[in-house]
Structure 1
Amino acid sequence: MFGTRFINDDRAQLYREMRQEHGPLAPVTLLGDVPAWLVLGYRELHQITSNPALFTRDSGIWNQWDRIPADWPLLPMVGRQPSILYETGARHQRRSSLVSDALAAVDPFELRHHAERFADRLIDGFCGRGDGDLVAEYAKVLPALVLARLYGFGDEEGASLVPSINALVDGSEGALEGRDRIQAAMRGLLASRRAAPGADVATRMLHHAYADEFSFEEIVEDMMVNIVAGHQPTADWIGNSLRLTFTDDRFSASLSGGRHSVGEAMNEVLWEETPTQNVAGRWAARDTQLGGKRVRGGDLLILSLAAANADPQVRPDQHSFTGGNNAFLSFGHGDHRCPYPAQDIAEAIARTGIEVLLDRLPDADLAVSRQALVWRPSPWLRGLESLPVHFTPTIAVGDAG
């Protein structure tokens, strides 16, 4: 993507080197030598996301379309799509309200209940062994199960969708089939809610005051975007936070003494190893100046949330503990940031998942060295391939009588 170093553990150092050489805006090339800008500066990223008229989400103005083949692997990231991600103007505001209102009505107690229930069920699957992979067997499953339940799927149907969701997110073999299966399931759920409304997100989206302004397929697309985009960053938030508790004495030493440290570890991850690293993107509506560079109309700007979080202008001491500082850009900024209700849901799922696991397996520890942990090869997201642990075998709560 931007070079092989983006898949290694020295990505933070790479951002520093790029900033030293290019300043807050660095020229990069995508697959096929397609040019783009990588926005490294906190102030510049804030400026871009605060000015949707100058830096639009409308990919139709991209000045590279004549070079993009129909089978370009990055089309799902930057291509024209009928989802809320590429909507602009007043129509985006109404579409965003539809989604946000449907998510805001999720009962926090119901959310916590489902997260605890599914977390216990997953832990029951490996707790008797004394070992497990907390990515494959836990983090990559829990958010999808909870989100599917909140949207209106039954437990069994939600579980059956998890492999398709992960295949689509990973871009692995079966990704296209996975997308088709998720899409078919969403259509079926929405169709059923037309006849029999329920107390779920799907029903609230379908019957929202603005729903008549959007087609059935657009609502299906937005449901898919929210489940898929909500699942993987939350899964990585869980995995990256657990990694921190197992490898950083500042957190592992205090977790047994106070549950507040879970929140602190999660906050630290959003600064240091944010799940969403780079986002494509915005397109310059006209020629402009940004970060000392001349940006042409139609240029693609990729937003590096991770690099902006590490900008020395906002974090002069990169080694200081972030504490409760929430000024990170990990959820984006501006009209197209992650909706606040979605952020709250992700945080509740992640925090509950971590707390339940640490309560159930209090002596869990890494089964390999810290250096043996491998990051997934993606410039867009930051998450582990696996997180192997060992612990004292324990009884499944489902068997506790």
Structure 2
Amino acid sequence: MSDRGACPVRLHGGDFRTDPGGLYQRMRAEHGPVVPVLLEGDVPAWLVIGYRELHHVLSSPDVFARASHRWNAWDRVPEDWPLLPMVLRLPTVLYSEGEEHRRRAGALSDALAGTDLHELRTVTTRMADRLIDAFCSSTGTDLRLAYTARLPALVLSWLYGLDDERGDEAASLMTTMIDGGAEAMDAQRALMAAMADIVAQRRADPGGDVVSRLLAHPAGYTDEEAVPELIVLLGGGNQPTGEWLGNALRLMLTDDRFAASIAGARRSAQEALNEVLWEDTPTQVHAGRYAAHDVELGGRLLRRGDLVLLGLAGANTDPDVHSGTGAPGDRGNHAHLSFSHGEHRCPYPAQEIAEIIAVTGIEVLMDRLPDLELMVAAEELRWRPSPWVRGVASLPVAFTPVPPLGEN
């Protein structure tokens, strides 16, 4: 059993926000693939940053279980802990196990699979153009606030059958919850109330949207089951997709190699976004798994009930999966863990929807505003405070004004 790096690493603020790549390198050198960490409030956990070790965790649900009632540190978590919404057990696909998980995962996958992907592309293009029209006649904007955070929210609103205002409100609440600040629990409660209203409306007047398909599924969702499940769908669809799009655009604006490869058409948008999933994945840490019994992992002894954090960003940048020729994403390798792995991986229909939104978002923006430039030095960009999501808090850009297209 390894005794390396006995001192836990604080997984909030400092280098974790500003330079996670460098921090992962130091963690790997000092602690190995499984790192003892402290979350906000000095709550202990293990962060798995080794690709092989994380793959094993994700492939072993009987050993590394999902239900958070197993956690052995609940007595150390205050009621107002800002990260509580991300570990608090709710009756959803995220925290279920066994047959119950299969029931829920099948229903969600079927509800999403009913989406017409051709119509989705058309709607995403139209909404991207509408957002760009709102700022294209100026000389600059905050691309995150005006575009990358809003596009997935608008598209998901359409999938849910919501109007834009309600979709924006839900997306804003989700951002507050995931950032893990003092208002996180209030945001979760407001989201629950908003989703309850939507479920009641769709139960009374079903349509052709994802919510209606979920409620009509043979899995037999009750209203109480559907409400938190819809929050899972919203969080898993809006936040990572927006930061996926934003991180790709940030690289275009700050990395000459990346920008040249896109501008010169040596890479498609899909290939560029795949590289982002390897190098700057939007979901950097996911909570989590819980040791079902004492187990050794990466030279560490984990005790029954220990919280295991999924270090997706750390595992994707593990030197063991890189060669001397560059990043795995350079070769079109899709073996990253950004969509997780195993029975709790992101459903394939959800991955398709996210990719269509991200690819279309880049292609439309590049076509409309081909001379985007960052308005500040790259090192001046500030990152979101969330321990889970990797993305900039703002992305100020300048460009040559162009006339809006108008409604289309």
- SS of the equivalent of 1:129 reads coil
1:354 has 2:354 as partner: no
2:151 aligned residue (131, 142, 148):
142
SS of 1:395's partner is coil
Equivalent residues of 2:262, 2:272 under 8 A apart: no
- Map 1:354-393 onto structure 2 (within 5 A): 354-393=362-401
Report if the CA contact (8 A) 2:174-2:188 is conserved.
yes
Report the CA distance between 1:3 and its aligned residue.
4.6
The Cα RMSD (Å) is: 2.0
Amino acid at match of 2:134: G
State the alpha-carbon separation in 1 of the partners of residues 265 and 276 from structure 2: 18
The 1:111–1:57 alpha-carbon spacing in structure 2 relative to 1, beyond 3 Å, is same
Structure 1 pair 172–124 and aligned structure 2 pair: CA distance change class (3 A): farther
Give the partner amino acid of 1:220: V
Matched, 1:283 2:295: no
User: Matches of 1:181 and 1:67 in 2, distance apart?
Assistant: 26
Q: Specify the alignment match of 1:311 in structure 2.
A: 318
Q: Per-residue CA shift, 1:196-249, capped at 9, x if unaligned?
A: 3211101110000112xx421111111111112211111111110001112222
Letter in 1 for 2:309: I
1:255 corresponds in structure 2 to 262
- Structure 1 residues 192 and 241 mapped into 2: Cα distance closer, same or farther (>3 Å)? same
Residue 286 of structure 1 deviates from its aligned partner by 0.6
| Distance in 2 between residues matched to 1:40 and 1:158, nearest whole Å | 34
User: Once the 2 structures are TM-superposed, how far is the Cα of residue 128 of structure 1 from its aligned partner?
Assistant: 0.8
| 8 Å CA contact 2:124, 2:357 repeated in 1 | yes
Query: Could you list the runs of 5+ residues in structure 2 that have no partner in the other structure?
Result: 1-9
Specify the alignment match of 2:127 in structure 1.
Answer: 118
Measured against aligned partners, the alpha-carbon deviations of 1:126-159 in whole angstroms (never above 9, x if no partner) come to: 1111101111111111101100111111344434
> Do the aligned partners of 1:288 and 1:295 also contact (CA within 8 Å) in 2?
yes
2:68 maps to which residue? Answer: 59
- Please identify, of 194-203 and 253-262, the stretch whose mean Cα deviation from structure 2 is larger: 253-262
Partner of 2:7: none
Instruction: Give the one of 227, 230, 245 matched to 1:220.
Output: 227
| Residue 5 of structure 2: aligned partner | none
Provide the C-alpha distance between the structure 2 equivalents of 1:6 and 1:336, rounded to a whole number of angstroms: 29
TM-score (norm 1): 0.93
User: Which residue is equivalent to 1:169?
Assistant: 178
After superposition, the Cα gap between the structure-2 partners of 1:234 and 1:318, relative to the gap in structure 1 and judged at 3 Å, is farther
Report Cα offsets for 1:252-296 as digits up to 9, x if no partner. 224334384322221111011100001111100111111111111
Q: Residues 184, 69 of structure 1: CA spacing in aligned structure 2 closer, same or farther, 3 A cutoff?
A: closer
Show the counterpart of 2:239: 232
Pairing 1:329–2:355 present:
no
Structure 1 residue 78 and structure 2 residue 90: aligned? no
Distance in 1, Cα, partners of 2:298 & 2:178 = 32
Is contact 1:85-1:336 (8 Å) kept? yes
1:132 maps to 141
TM-score, length of structure 2 as denominator length: 0.92
CA contact (8 A) 1:187 1:220 kept: yes
Q: Deviations over 1:345-370 (max 9, x none)?
A: 11111111111111111111111222
**Post-superposition offset of 1:10:** 2.4
Structure 1 residue 119, shift from structure 2 partner: 0.9
1:146 match: secondary structure: helix
For the residues of structure 1 that align with 2:189 and 2:216, how far apart are their CA atoms? 24
Equivalent pair of 1:127/1:394 in contact (CA under 8 Å): yes
Name which of structure 1's ranges 59-68 and 268-277 shifts more when overlaid on structure 2.
59-68
Are residues 157 and 208 of structure 1, via their aligned partners in 2, closer, same or farther at CA, if it must alter by over 3 Å? Answer: same
Corresponding position: 1:265 with 2:243:
no
Shift of 1:387: 0.9
Query: In the alignment, is the contact (CA less than 8 A) between 2:139 and 2:401 conserved in 1?
Result: yes
- C-alpha contact 1:145 1:155 (8 A) present in aligned 2: yes
How far, CA to CA, are the matches of 1:161 and 1:287 in structure 2?
40
Corresponding residue for residue 211 of structure 2: 202
Give the 3 Å change call, closer, same or farther, for CA 259–123 of structure 1 in structure 2.
farther
Per the alignment, residue 349 of structure 2 pairs with 341
Higher deviation after alignment, 248-257 or 352-361:
248-257
Q: 1:106 to 1:5 in 2, by over 3 A?
A: same
Q: Which amino acid aligns with 2:59?
A: S
Following superposition, the deviation at residue 68 of structure 1 comes to: 1.9
Q: Distance in 2 between matches of 1:173 and 1:18?
A: 28
- Residue in 2 aligned with 1:28? 37
* Unmatched segments (≥5 aa) in structure 1: none
Structure 2 residue 301 is the aligned partner of structure 1 residue 294? yes
Describe the SS at the equivalent of 2:406: helix
- Mapped to 2, the partners of 1:336 and 1:18 lie a distance apart of 26
- Answer whether contact 2:85 2:177 (CA < 8 A) is retained: no
Give the CA deviation at 1:191. 2.1
User: CA offset at residue 13 of structure 1?
Assistant: 1.7
Write the letter of the residue equivalent to 1:2.
Answer: L
Counterpart Cα distance in 2 of 1:380 and 1:269? 16
Asked whether the 8 Å contact 1:7–1:376 carries over to 2, the reply is no
- Mapped to 2, the partners of 1:53 and 1:346 lie a distance apart of 29
User: 1:7 touches 1:378 (CA, 8 Å); kept in 2?
Assistant: no
Contact 2:262/2:268, CA 8 A, preserved across alignment: yes
Kept after mapping to 1: 8 A contact 2:278/2:313? yes
| Secondary structure of the structure 2 residue equivalent to 1:322 | helix
Partner Cα separation in structure 2 for residue 183 and residue 63 of structure 1? 27
- Count of residue pairs the alignment pairs up: 398
How far is the alpha carbon of 1:314 from its aligned partner? 1.3
Q: Secondary structure at the match of 2:320?
A: coil
Following the alignment from structure 2 to structure 1, what is the Cα–Cα distance between the partners of residues 244 and 232? 18
